[in-house]
């Protein structure tokens, strides 16, 4: 028998926090803060716990609110995206804090520069990530050794808002470790060795009490945060304890036993009443169903009183329908015949004839007028034939209707009985013979009337009677063919006018708005909700329609990307020179950046204050941090091996999305993630992508099928927008604030609203 294997589990630690904050002057209390922020729900558990201390040594009124402002910004950004990892969320929150400080400095609030002392940290599972600013310290106690883990963190000599929180230090923590975070004031009364001995000697509660007493008695202002690492207790997976009580459980074995609990008297009465009511309903249904079921065959039928003495509406409808078809055919024949003749002038002699000609008969204006003597006679002859034929047909069909009614009314009399002999079947009573003589046609009278007719009238009558048996067949054929042609034309029209009809949530955009026109359009840029249009010579603001030309030595343009967090647009030329443009200063400025020689930059996007550049030659994506009026040293962001020569577009949100061979791939932390676009009736061929930070959507430009698809970040289709002009788009951009879509060809920008 095989031995049972047990999974080896790695113990996970969790931190318990205690703090000491001393501030004797209430006016300075808002210049110092200790915070610990734990996950609020299950989705945030992978982010761990965010904690830290912040202190500003500047006592001016402009610095009084900065501590609380920074804590709020850091907390909000860190827990805003649960799908990010802890390190990515921590870096995002630090960049957000730097950006917030930069905005304060932009408005002239700079007294706090170089006077911020802070330690920010994240503890998730067995990992710790830490960032330092100023003189605050982080001490790690492991066993009997105390280490200053913040000692190597760089401190900038030249204060810069963007360099307040620069690097992140990461490491592993273990069970029974202790982390002591403190402002520099603690070293005014204790040496490093005294802190070490006290932390080892005292228990956790005693050490905190020792700090409260010493710091409260000796210092005006100080802050200490102590975190102790303990093994996280996990619930037992296979433990089970039998219930002690014997209350009824619907899922227990007793609930399936044959003996059921006794019902109350009230429940029994209710059951009997229900049975009685059900029995009455069944009886009523049976009584009613007996009237509709044939007892011999079991078939259901509907009883209806029917008398042959009543009108036979079926026969009348058939005869009237036939009469209408023949009348319509003669009218059609008459109009078609007249349409072959030129339209006569309405003089006194032909006025009455011309009024009878249909108004919709086409007349050629170029055809010269000819004598109308023969044509007038032809028109009169056609009219005579038309009206005479209608009278003959009317008399004939009236006779058929009358004969049909009388025949049906007397049908019972003429039907022979089964018991009668053959002689009896032939014999007809005298009263019935007289009735038949009354209704039978008088052939002698018809012959006499026909002889009295003129030659032309006889010809018309014979022709009309002959056509009675031919016209209905051709009328039906023509009508059926006409209906079939209409159905085919409707189907073909629907197929051509409704492309992508079977696709999910498709919307057809009928009207496009022309937004901007200019030759050699290069890109559309959405910078914080404001639209800019870039061409090879410069850019144009959609807001005021003003043009801003590139510096003379900059061309030719190769790549454009915007950075919302700094409100800048970056331009890179073919020589890898980079410049920026600000809508505030409305000026171009050179930016410093070190790009390796032999680099083939193909695409660029930004995230927070980072610039991502795709190098096809090195098959790598570089990440540059913003630094002063340029960018710092690059890092190789891409970890997986991808063929970047197949990449045609890039979009950066919480993940980086790439277009590869008309498909979309997703990258997180430099590694490829599982990402699959929902299948639809018409396959999606991606040409370009759009997303941004904090956006829950990913947009795909599909030029082959003239559409733009809106996806969620899991690849599910939310909506699709179709217009035939999208097939010519060279770029597109989304403004989610105004719910507008912009796309451009080489000479024009058009837009529509997403509904």
Q: What is the pLDDT at residue 693?
A: 86
What is the side-by-side strand order in the sheet with 588-590? 557-563, 568-573, 578-581, 588-590
DSSP SS3 for 249: coil
Angle of CA points 482, 485, 486, to nearest 5°: 85
Structure tokens at 559: 């790549």
Distances (CA, A) of 222 to 25, 31, 192, 492, 589: 12, 11, 16, 82, 44
| Mutual angle of helices 86-106 and 66-78, in 10-degree steps | 150
d(CA 449, CA 438): 19
CA angle centred on 307, ends 302 and 311, rounded to 5°: 110
Compute φ and ψ for 412, nearest 5 degrees. Answer: -60, -35
Q: Where are the beta strands (DSSP E) in 392-471?
A: none
CA distances to 295, 564, 586, 622 from 632, rounded to whole Å, are 97, 19, 24, 11
Task: Retrieve residue 742's tokens.
Answer: 């912009």
The DSSP output letter for 246 is -
- Find which of 202-206, 364-368, 388-392, 519-523 is predicted with most confidence, using mean pLDDT: 519-523
**Does residue 207 have a pLDDT over 70?**
yes
Residue 165's pLDDT is what?
87
Distance CA 103, CA 81 (A): 23
pLDDT, tens only, 553-578: 898 999 999 999 889 999 999 999 99
- Mean pLDDT (the chain) is 76
Q: Give CA–CA dist 618/286, Å, rounded.
A: 86
151 to each of 130, 135, 139, how far by Cα in Å?
12, 10, 9
Percent of the chain at pLDDT > 70 equals 64
* pLDDT digit string, tens, across residues 694-730: 899 999 999 999 999 999 999 999 999 999 999 999 9
pLDDT digits (tens, 9 = 90+) for 263-292: 444 444 445 544 554 555 455 545 544 544
Alpha-carbon span 497 to 281, nearest angstrom = 56
Q: Once rounded to an integer, what is the mean pLDDT over residues 368-374? A: 44
How sure is the predictor about 438, in pLDDT bands with cuts at 50, 70 and 90?
low
Query: What is the pLDDT averaged over residues 641-656?
Result: 93
Phi, psi (degrees; rounded to nearest 5) at 110: -125, 10
Pick the closest to residue 713 from 75, 79, 82, 42 (CA basis): 82
Q: Is 130 exposed, middle or buried (0-12, 13-18, 19+ CB in 10 A)?
A: buried
Q: What is the pTM of this model?
A: 0.48
Backbone angles phi and psi of 115, in degrees to 5: -120, 20
Position 694 scores a pLDDT of: 86
Q: Tell me the Cα Rg of the chain.
A: 47
Position 474 pLDDT exceeds 80:
no
Residue 379: per-residue pLDDT: 57
Rounded distance between C-alpha atoms, residue 297 and residue 562, angstroms: 83
| Cβ neighbours around 541 below 10 Å, total | 16
User: CA-based angle 554:557:561, to the nearest 5?
Assistant: 110
With contact defined as beta carbons under 8 Å apart, do 208 and 227 qualify? no
Q: How far is CA 258 from the centre of its chain?
A: 54
Domains of the chain in start order, with CATH, are 13-231 (3.60.40.10), 313-360+372-417+426-472 (no CATH), 506-753 (2.120.10.30)
Rounded CA separation 700/686 (Å)? 6
Res 420: pLDDT: 39
pLDDT of residue 406: 47
Residue 416 — pLDDT band, cuts 50, 70, 90? very low
């Amino acid at each position: 028998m095989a031995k049972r294997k047990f999974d080896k589990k790695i113990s996970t630690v969790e931190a318990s926090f205690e703090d000491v904050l001393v501030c004797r002057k209430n006016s300075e209390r808002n210049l110092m803060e200790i915070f610990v922020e734990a996950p609020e729900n299950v989705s945030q558990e992978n982010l761990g716990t965010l904690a830290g201390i912040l202190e500003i040594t500047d006592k001016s009124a402009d610095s009084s609110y900065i501590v609380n402002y920074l804590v709020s910004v850091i907390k909000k950004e860190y827990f805003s995206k649960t799908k990010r990892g802890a390190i990515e969320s921590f870096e995002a929150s630090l960049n957000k804090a730097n950006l917030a400080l930069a905005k304060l400095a932009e408005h002239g609030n700079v007294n706090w520069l170089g006077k911020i002392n802070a330690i920010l940290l994240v503890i998730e599972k067995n990992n710790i990530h830490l960032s330092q600013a100023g003189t605050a310290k982080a001490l790690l106690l492991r066993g009997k050794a105390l280490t200053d883990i913040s000692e190597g963190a760089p401190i900038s000599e030249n204060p810069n808002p963007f360099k307040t929180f620069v690097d992140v230090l990461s490491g592993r923590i273990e069970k029974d470790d202790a982390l002591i975070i403190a402002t520099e004031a603690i070293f005014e009364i204790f040496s490093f060795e005294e802190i070490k001995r006290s932390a080892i000697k005292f228990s956790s509660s005693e050490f905190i009490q020792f700090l409260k007493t010493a710091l409260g008695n000796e210092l005006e202002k100080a802050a200490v945060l102590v975190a102790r690492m303990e093994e996280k207790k996990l619930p037992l997976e296979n433990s089970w304890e039998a219930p002690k009580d014997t209350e009824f459980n619907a899922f227990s074995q007793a609930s399936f036993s044959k003996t059921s609990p006794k019902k109350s008297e009230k429940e029994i009465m209710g059951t009997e009443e229900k049975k009685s009511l059900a029995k009455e309903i069944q009886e009523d249904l049976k009584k009613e169903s007996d009237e509709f079921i044939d007892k011999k065959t079991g078939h259901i039928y509907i009883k209806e009183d029917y008398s042959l003495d009543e009108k036979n509406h079926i026969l009348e409808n058939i005869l009237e329908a036939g009469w209408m078809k023949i009348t319509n055919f003669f009218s059609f024949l008459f109009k078609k015949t007249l349409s072959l003749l030129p339209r006569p002038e309405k003089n006194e002699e032909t006025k009455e004839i011309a009024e009878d000609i249909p108004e919709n008969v086409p007349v050629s204006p170029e055809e010269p007028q000819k004598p109308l003597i023969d044509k007038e006679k032809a028109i009169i002859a056609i009219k005579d034939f038309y009206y005479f034929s209608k009278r003959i047909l009317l008399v004939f069909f009236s006779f058929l209707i009358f004969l049909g009614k009388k025949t049906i009314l007397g049908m019972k009399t003429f039907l022979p009985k089964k018991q009668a002999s053959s002689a009896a079947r032939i014999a007809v009573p005298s009263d019935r013979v007289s009735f038949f003589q009354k209704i039978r046609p008088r052939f002698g009278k018809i012959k006499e009337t026909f002889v009295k007719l003129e030659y032309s009238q006889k010809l018309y009558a014979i022709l009309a009677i002959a056509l009675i048996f031919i016209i209905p067949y051709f009328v039906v054929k023509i009508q059926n063919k006409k209906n079939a042609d209409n159905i085919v034309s409707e189907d073909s029209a629907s197929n051509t006018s409704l492309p992508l009809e079977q696709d999910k949530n498709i919307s057809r955009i009928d009207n496009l708005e022309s937004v901007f026109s200019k030759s050699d359009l290069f890109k559309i840029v959405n910078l914080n909700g404001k639209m800019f249009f870039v061409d090879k010579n410069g850019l144009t603001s959609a807001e005021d329609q003003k043009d801003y030309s590139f510096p003379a030595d900059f061309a030719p343009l190769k790549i454009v990307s915007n950075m919302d967090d700094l409100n800048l647009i970056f331009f890179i030329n073919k020589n890898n020179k980079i410049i920026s443009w600000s809508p505030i200063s409305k000026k171009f400025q050179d930016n410093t950046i070190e790009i390796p020689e032999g680099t083939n930059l193909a695409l660029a996007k930004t995230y927070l204050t980072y610039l991502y550049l795709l190098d096809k030659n090195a098959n790598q994506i570089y990440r540059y941090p913003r630094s002063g009026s340029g960018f710092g040293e690059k890092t190789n962001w891409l970890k997986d091996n991808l063929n970047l020569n197949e990449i045609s577009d890039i979009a950066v949100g919480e993940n980086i999305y790439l277009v590869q061979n008309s498909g979309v791939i997703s990258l997180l932390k430099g590694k490829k993630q599982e990402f699959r676009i929902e299948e639809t009736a018409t396959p999606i061929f991606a040409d370009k992508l759009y997303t941004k930070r904090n956006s829950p959507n990913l947009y795909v430009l599909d030029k082959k099928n003239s559409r733009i698809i809106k996806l969620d970040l899991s690849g599910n289709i939310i909506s699709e927008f179709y217009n035939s002009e999208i097939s010519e788009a060279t770029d597109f951009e989304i403004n989610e604030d105004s719910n507008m879509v912009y796309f451009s060809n080489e000479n024009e920008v058009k837009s529509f609203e997403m509904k």
